[in-house]
Amino acid sequence: MATCLSITELLSAQNCGEDLIAGISKLYMIAYQDLKALTGTPFPYSQATGGVISAIGLQTGKHFVEIGLLKDTTGLNVTGVFNENGTRYKTVDLAVTLQGITAENSAWVDNVSGQEIAVIVLDKSGVYYTAGLRGNLKMNGYTGGLGTAPSDDKGFKLTFQSNDAFGIKLLAQDGADDAIAPIA
């Protein structure tokens, strides 16, 4: 059972909304099997004070790779669920749009559809976040199409989801630098 903590103070309104631009500018992804547990923990990450992810363990020669995205089509969101029986978890939803029905995109969709993934995102404010470091972020569906009008999307829309206690975590810049190759 989780230990309940006293609530001691109100959270401040940080920056009064300045520099808090919604949206994702870059997405990096890795197969969960390409992560490795860090020394002293069963998990492939370590957390600094406050829960910020400070390092991500990678198998030798593996790294997060950048996924090409249509502008303003990718979203990473979390929802908390609290049940009356005392259980609670977070549902993470990742939506990704790949432009074009190409052989490369089709092969990528087939490859990622059967495995757990972890992601790093860079938001439009220049802050890194991560999800899937507990191993159950998986594709739960996709659609693909050519559209019906010139302004329609032509490509794949993929959705990924996980249910765990981890959710979305802030990733320290150093942790992002070490996990992404090459970093832009």
Pick the more confident residue, 167 or 15: 167
**Averaged pLDDT for residues 51-64:** 92
Q: Given pLDDT bands bounded at 50, 70 and 90, which one contains residue 17?
A: low
Query: How many domains are contained in the chain?
Result: 1
Residue 3 lies in a domain: no
Asked if 145 contacts 125 with a C-beta cutoff of 8 angstroms, the reply is no
Asked whether residue 13 is domain-assigned, the answer is: no
In a domain, 113, yes or no: yes
Beta carbons of 116 and 94 less than 8 angstroms apart: no
Model confidence band, residue 151 (pLDDT cutoffs 50, 70, 90): confident
Mean pLDDT for 101-114 is 90
Domain limits at 134?
Answer: 23-179
105 lies in a domain? yes
Question: Is residue 77 within 8 Å of residue 92, measured between CB atoms?
Answer: yes
Tokens 């790779």 correspond to 65
Look at residue 1 and tell me if it is in a domain. Answer: no
pLDDT for 59 equals 93
Average pLDDT over residues 26-52: 92
| pLDDT over 60 (residue 96) | yes
Report if residue 159 sits inside a domain: yes
Residue 104 lies in a domain: yes
- Per-residue pLDDT of 63-80, as tens digits, reads 999 988 777 788 898 999
Average pLDDT over residues 110-130: 92
Which residues contact residue 98 at a Cβ distance below 8 angstroms, ignoring those fewer than 6 apart? 67, 68, 69, 70, 105, 108, 109, 155, 156, 158
Q: Does residue 149 or residue 71 have the better pLDDT?
A: 149
pLDDT of residue 184: 45
Closest by CA to 139, choosing from 108, 102, 101, is 108
